[in-house]
């Protein structure tokens, strides 16, 4: 029943919902707070005690580098038009992404 109600308003453009945006940010933060220390402690347990701090810092540095790479080119490769295997670089550094190009209420 709810699917039919939402499709009735398909012609209208949906505005971004602040609640949806907040939920996406909170969920992302919770996943990062759970997985990054867990991954760092896992790899820290595989090395000798003198190398644990180095492994912890490497895990956090790599997560920062991967975040920057995703923002620079990863989004474009995942979501732009391209061939059957990967997208193109037309949305590199979020080029052409505006509020009007978003679909739905979740950014």
**How far apart (Å, rounded) are the C-alpha atoms in residues 71 and 67?**
6
pLDDT confidence bin for 79, thresholds 50/70/90:
confident
Q: Which residues, 6+ apart, have CB-to-CB distance to 74 below 8 Å?
A: none
Q: Where are the domains of the chain?
A: 18-97
Q: What percent of the chain has pLDDT over 90?
A: 58
- 44-52, Cβ contacts within 8 angstroms, sequence gap of 24 or more: none
Go through the chain and tell me how many residues it has: 107
Q: What angle do CA 98, 104, 107 make, to 5 degrees?
A: 50
Predicted TM-score (pTM) of the model is: 0.72
The pLDDT tens digits for 15-37 are 788 999 999 999 999 999 999 99
């Amino acid at each position: 029943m709810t699917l039919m109600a939402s499709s009735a308003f398909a012609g209208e453009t949906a505005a971004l919902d602040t609640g949806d945006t907040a939920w996406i940010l909170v969920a992302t933060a919770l996943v990062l707070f759970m997985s990054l220390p867990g991954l760092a402690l896992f790899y820290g347990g595989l090395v000798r005690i003198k190398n644990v701090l180095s492994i912890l810092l490497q895990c956090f540095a790599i997560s920062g580098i991967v975040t920057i790479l995703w923002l620079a080119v990863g989004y474009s490769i995942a979501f732009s038009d391209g061939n059957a295997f990967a997208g193109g670089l037309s949305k590199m550094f979020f080029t052409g992404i505006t509020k009007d190009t978003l679909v739905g209420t979740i950014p």
